[in-house]
Structures are given as structure tokens and as C-alpha cells.
């Protein structure tokens, strides 16, 4: 008999729907089903991505105006915690192997919180941020991720003069992530042109495990 959990995340701000879902998935243990109710498409994307990365079979639907249902099923091949542990062990083994070989790679991320660089003149700031993004493309060792939030979300959307460089970075394996709440706030969720949507919990996790954080 499958165990079913219902999570009501209606009205919850990011990253609460993701956190509630993560905790509920842990309660399912080896198998079961989970349904999560949220009130916006960004939350649907964030919850779905997290659950899929955790090994769940995910589907979603819009039930009515402002109400969405995300259904998650675990097939019984291990708990979320076990999968997380296995992934952590694999990464630790890879890191140790690199260290032993004398070529340990640092986990570097770039965090961009504005569509301009520095304070003073706004126009100059926009020129500088474009130059900053280009400079990242020229690094000998590229970052693993680039995180964009608040005003920085504009740089990954339609009309931004940074798109060519960001697409170039993505093509070389750099993960480009933009805060979903920020896209929604600036009415840009339909204009994202590079990378994918993320949430604040994932942003904090990425910053926490990074060996180096580069900020403009």
C-alpha cells in the first residue's frame, strides 16, 4: 500500500514550497506519493525540479486560476536521504581522487545581484557589468554556476546585452540559474532566455558549498 502525503503551500513565498516538499519527501522514506499545492508557476517549476533531482517521478497540472498541483511518486528504490548521501559520497570520492592526483578543482560560483556593477553612475555600471560577464568567459577555469537574483535577473532575459556571453558560458558547461521569485516580481518569467529557474533554497545551498564566490 502506497503512502500519500499532501502538502499545502498555497500562499507560501519562495523557498517555503521547496522546503516543505523536501521534508515531505524525506517522510515518504522508500516509496509513496506526494501532492503539493502551490499558487504560481514559478513554485511549480522549483518544486518539480527539486523532486526530479531527488529521483521522483513528477507531473503537474493547473487545477484552477491561481492553484496548481504537483504530483510526485517515489518508486521505492531508496530514500531521498539515501540518494543525497550517495551523491555526497560520490562527490567526496571524486574530490579526494582529484586531490590525490594533485589537481583538486575548486567549486567556484559567480553571484550577480544587480544589472549594473558598483555605485555611482548607473550607465557606467551597466557597461561594467557587461564587461564583467565577458571577463568571466575568458577565465582559464570557468565557474560551475552563475546565480542571478534581484536586479541581476534582468541580465538573463530578453533584451539584455549579456545574453551572447551567458549562452557561450552555458554551452561550455556553466550552469546559469535565475531566481524565480525575482523573475516573477519584475514580470520577466516569460522572457528568460538562458539557463533555468531556481529558488532561494537552492541558491543558499550553492553558496554554502562553494569554495569560492565571485561577486561583481
Give the residue extent of every domain in the chain: 4-80, 106-214
Look at residue 168 in the predicted model and tell me its pLDDT.
97
**Which residues have a catalytic role annotated?**
14
Spatial distance between the Cα atoms of 150 and 105, rounded to a whole number of angstroms: 29
Q: What integer pLDDT is reported at residue 121 of this predicted model?
A: 95
Question: CA 9, 63, 57, 17: dihedral to nearest 10 degrees?
Answer: -10
Give the whole-angstrom CA distance, residue 54 versus residue 48: 10
**Per-residue confidence (pLDDT) for residue 88, from 0 to 100:** 47
Give the pLDDT of residue 130: 96
Q: Which DSSP helix (H) or strand (E) runs through 73?
A: strand 67-75
The pLDDT, as a whole number, for residue 96 is 60
The closest of 48, 45, 52, 50 to 206, measured between CA atoms, is: 50
CATH of 4-80, one of 3.40.50.300, 3.30.110.40, 2.30.30.60, 3.40.50.1980: 3.30.110.40
2-11 mean pLDDT: 88
What crossing angle do the helices spanning 16-28 and 200-209 adopt, rounded to 10°?
80
- Is-contact 51 45, C-beta < 8 A? no
- Reported CATH class of domain 106-214: alpha beta
Helix axes 16-28, 41-53, angle to 10 degrees: 40
Tracing cell 558547461 back to the chain, one arrives at 173
Amino acid at each position: 500500500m502506497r503512502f500519500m502525503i499532501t502538502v499545502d503551500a498555497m500562499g507560501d513565498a519562495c523557498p517555503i514550497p521547496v522546503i516543505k516538499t523536501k521534508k515531505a519527501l524525506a517522510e515518504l522514506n522508500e516509496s509513496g506519493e506526494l501532492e503539493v499545492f502551490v499558487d504560481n508557476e514559478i513554485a511549480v517549476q522549483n518544486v518539480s525540479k527539486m523532486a526530479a533531482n531527488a529521483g521522483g517521478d513528477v507531473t503537474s497540472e493547473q487545477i484552477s486560476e491561481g492553484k496548481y498541483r504537483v504530483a510526485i511518486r517515489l518508486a521505492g528504490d531508496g530514500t531521498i536521504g539515501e540518494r543525497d548521501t550517495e551523491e555526497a559520497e560520490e562527490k567526496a570520492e571524486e574530490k579526494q581522487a582529484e586531490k590525490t592526483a594533485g589537481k583538486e578543482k575548486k567549486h567556484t560560483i559567480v553571484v550577480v545581484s544587480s544589472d549594473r556593477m558598483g555605485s555611482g553612475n548607473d550607465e557606467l555600471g551597466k557597461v561594467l557589468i557587461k564587461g564583467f560577464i565577458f571577463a568571466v568567459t575568458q577565465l582559464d577555469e570557468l565557474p560551475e554556476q552563475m546565480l542571478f537574483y534581484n536586479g541581476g535577473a534582468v541580465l538573463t532575459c530578453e533584451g539584455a546585452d549579456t545574453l551572447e556571453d551567458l549562452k557561450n558560458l552555458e554551452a561550455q558547461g556553466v550552469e546559469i540559474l535565475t531566481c524565480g521569485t525575482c523573475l516573477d516580481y519584475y514580470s520577466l518569467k516569460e522572457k528568460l532566455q538562458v539557463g533555468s529557474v531556481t529558488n532561494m533554497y537552492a541558491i543558499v545551498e550553492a553558496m554554502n558549498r562553494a569554495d569560492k564566490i565571485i561577486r561583481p
